[in-house]
C-alpha cells in the first residue's frame, strides 16, 4: 500500500472489511483538505459540486428506484431546480444554488 498523504498515491490490493474502508476514507478526506459536501449521503445518492463566478451549485442525484429522505446543509444553499420536500424521488435530481458574495 502506498499513500496519497503528502502528495503520494494509494493502491489497495486486498479485500478488507467495510470498516477498514470507512476509516481509511475518513482519514484520507481529513488529511487531504477535501471539501465535504454533505455529512450524510444515503446509499445510491451522488452529490457533486460546480461553481462559476456568480454561484456555487450542489447537484444531488438519487439513483435509487425509491424516494429517499435526505437533509440538505443549511449553509446558504437554496433549491434552484428540482423538487424537494425532505425527500428526492427515485431517479430524481435536485440542484442547490448559493450566490457568491
Note whether residue 6 is domain-resident.
yes
Looking at the fold, whether 49 and 26 belong to one and the same domain comes out as: no
The per-residue pLDDT for range 57-96, each reduced to its tens digit, is: 999 999 999 999 999 887 899 999 999 999 999 999 999 9
Give me the pLDDT at residue 4, please.
Answer: 47
Evaluate if residue 22 carries a pLDDT over 80.
Answer: yes
Domain at 93, CATH number: 2.60.40.1180
Task: Please tell me whether residues 29 and 1 are part of one structural domain.
Answer: yes
User: For residue 20, what pLDDT is reported?
Assistant: 93
CA 32 to chain centre: 16
Q: Are residues 95 and 61 in the same domain?
A: yes
Q: Kindly state whether residue 40 falls inside one of the protein's structural domains.
A: no
Q: How many domains does the chain have?
A: 2
Cα angle value 30/33/35 (rounded, 5°) = 90
**Do both 50 and 91 map to the same domain?**
yes
Same domain, 54 and 90: yes
* 39 part of a folded domain: no
27 and 52 share one domain: no
Domain residue limits at 51: 45-99
Sequence-separated (6 or more) residues with CB below 8 Å from residue 43: 64
Amino acid at each position: 500500500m502506498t499513500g496519497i498523504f503528502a502528495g503520494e498515491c494509494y493502491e489497495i490490493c486486498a479485500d478488507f472489511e467495510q470498516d477498514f474502508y470507512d476509516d481509511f476514507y475518513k482519514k484520507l478526506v481529513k488529511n487531504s483538505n477535501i471539501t465535504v459536501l454533505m455529512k450524510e449521503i444515503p446509499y445510491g445518492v451522488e452529490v457533486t459540486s460546480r461553481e462559476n463566478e456568480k454561484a456555487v451549485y450542489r447537484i444531488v442525484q438519487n439513483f435509487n428506484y425509491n424516494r429517499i429522505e435526505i437533509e440538505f446543509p443549511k449553509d446558504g444553499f437554496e433549491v434552484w431546480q428540482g423538487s424537494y420536500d425532505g425527500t428526492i424521488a427515485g431517479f430524481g435530481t435536485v440542484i442547490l444554488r448559493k450566490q457568491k458574495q
